[in-house]
Amino acid sequence: MTHPTDPVDPMHRALSDAEASDEAAGYTVPVALVRSRVRRRRAVRAGGAAGVACLAVVAVVVAVPSFLSRTPAAGPPATPPPGVNADWPAQFDRCGKKFATVLPDVGRATLTTSDGTLDEANQAIVLVTTTTGPAGVDEGWVYGTELSAVDDDGTIIGVQEGPSVPAVDDVDDYYAGTDFASVPFPIKDHAKIPFVSCGQYPDGSGALALETGTYHLWATQTIGYRQGSESVVARATVEVPIVVPLPARPATAEDYFACGLPVARLTEARPDAAGLVLEANTPAAGWGSTAPAWSVTVGASDGRTISARSGAAGNLALVDSSDTVVGFVTAGRSPLREFEVGPDATTTLDGPTLVTSCDGTDLTGDYEAWPFLVATLESSTLADGSVASTPTTPVVVVADRRDLTFGP
């Protein structure tokens, strides 16, 4: 190859020659090898923090296959089963297998655990304690904790989102060059690990979260310790039941105020109104088959500024001496009310209302009245100016109860 007569840095010239060579033209980037090395480096960085006692583990591995690379590897790779994305994190290989056949105990270690829970973010929270190592060994370290949800048939139906701990025989090589801090036995590992369903595996079309129910949660911990001059790896597993609760359903007005429904629960907790508050302006007299003029005033709590809308001016649930809803004062037909409330602004809503009883008879006597409003939030800003999340369904805003007397 010829070079220009202008002075050129020798390294630049050498690289130019290499780039134009026959060897470079026939070279194919080993994508699979590069990808595996990148993963390994990431895992080592994540695993390095896993050896500290009382660790809160937060996964950084994306388990949804649509976000993972699908670049084909050079050469003839092994053919995965139909529909399987070969880039699934390693723990998904356990999906559908019998737990008794995977992650067996290795070496001398004993695990105990407290009850496991699954929080709203679908994170499994469990305290795993390695109580003892072999005789004469006083301290060790944690390589990582893995979780498997198992159904009554012993089949794995859920796994931690990440990271995965390598096989025992591969641990030393996998974590080569990584220093783990030794701590005395018992080693307590407070694991808080995002959890996902095997339903999405292998083609990514299933649910990400486990269905509601009670499952067997198996926590598998891989530890290391030194016995003399030798580094030893051990693995132990412990079971703890875990309950996946029903997803929280937003409260509706009917959950609190329906004919024949007792309202004692309102004395314990009000519905979550996402920052809206309510006061009612009700006269003491004039209640009967028709209602006197009355109104509700809407405000916001804790310095929030809220934009909302409501299709009614307000309602009263009427409760008799047995603490049961027996009637309503409901808002008549009215236009949609849009309003904004905040630290220095409230909104008063009023309009014609209708008096109805649950059994169709006239309401007479003394009743306890619970004012409430159903509203939909458009936006909400906190006192510090940050934007707050808003419910996707209407909220029920409840005011303090008051006593009303209905006459003929």
Give the model confidence (pLDDT) of 151-166 as tens digits. Answer: 888 899 989 887 778 8
| Tens of pLDDT, residues 356-394 | 999 999 999 999 999 999 999 999 999 999 999 998 889
Structural contact between residues 130 and 139, judged by C-beta atoms closer than 8 angstroms:
no
What confidence tier does 233 reach under pLDDT thresholds 50, 70, 90? Answer: confident
Task: Check residue 336 and give its pLDDT.
Answer: 83
Q: What mean pLDDT is reported for the chain?
A: 74
How far apart CA 396 and CA 281 sit, in angstroms, is 18
Task: Check residue 289 and give its pLDDT.
Answer: 92
How much of the chain exceeds pLDDT 90, in percent?
A: 29
Structural contact between residues 378 and 387, judged by C-beta atoms closer than 8 angstroms:
no
How far apart CA 191 and CA 288 sit, in angstroms, is 61
How far apart CA 14 and CA 57 sit, in angstroms, is 47
Which residue did the predictor score with more confidence, 65 or 187? 187
| Tens of pLDDT, residues 239-290 | 876 666 555 556 778 878 889 888 866 666 688 899 999 999 999 889 999 9
Least confident of 4-18, 71-85, 161-175: 71-85
E strands within 167-302?
183-184, 187-197, 213-227, 230-244, 276-281, 295-300
Measured in degrees and rounded to the nearest 5, phi and psi for residue 90 equal -60, -35
The upper half-sphere exposure of residue 248, i.e. CA atoms within 13 Å in the direction of its Cβ, equals: 11
Task: Check residue 258 and give its pLDDT.
Answer: 86
Is the pLDDT at 293 greater than 50? The verdict is yes
How far apart CA 365 and CA 406 sit, in angstroms, is 5
Task: Check residue 120 and give its pLDDT.
Answer: 55
What confidence tier does 196 reach under pLDDT thresholds 50, 70, 90? Answer: confident
Paired tokens of 245: 């609760």
**Once rounded to an integer, what is the mean pLDDT over residues 94-120?**
76
**Once rounded to an integer, what is the mean pLDDT over residues 301-317?**
93
Task: Check residue 170 and give its pLDDT.
Answer: 86
Residue 244, SS3 per DSSP? strand
Task: Check residue 307 and give its pLDDT.
Answer: 97
Is the pLDDT at 310 greater than 70? The verdict is yes
Q: Which residues are within 8 A (CB) of 155 and not within 5 positions of it... i.e. 6 or more apart?
A: 96, 97, 98, 99
Residue 247, SS3 per DSSP? coil
Task: Check residue 53 and give its pLDDT.
Answer: 26
Backbone torsion region of residue 250, taken as left when φ is above 0, otherwise alpha when ψ lies between -120 and 50, otherwise beta: beta
Is the pLDDT at 103 greater than 70? The verdict is yes
| Tens of pLDDT, residues 36-94 | 333 333 333 333 333 322 222 222 222 222 222 222 233 333 333 434 445 788 889 99
Is the pLDDT at 346 greater than 70? The verdict is yes
Task: Check residue 113 and give its pLDDT.
Answer: 65
Domain ranges of the chain: 31-65+88-244, 253-406
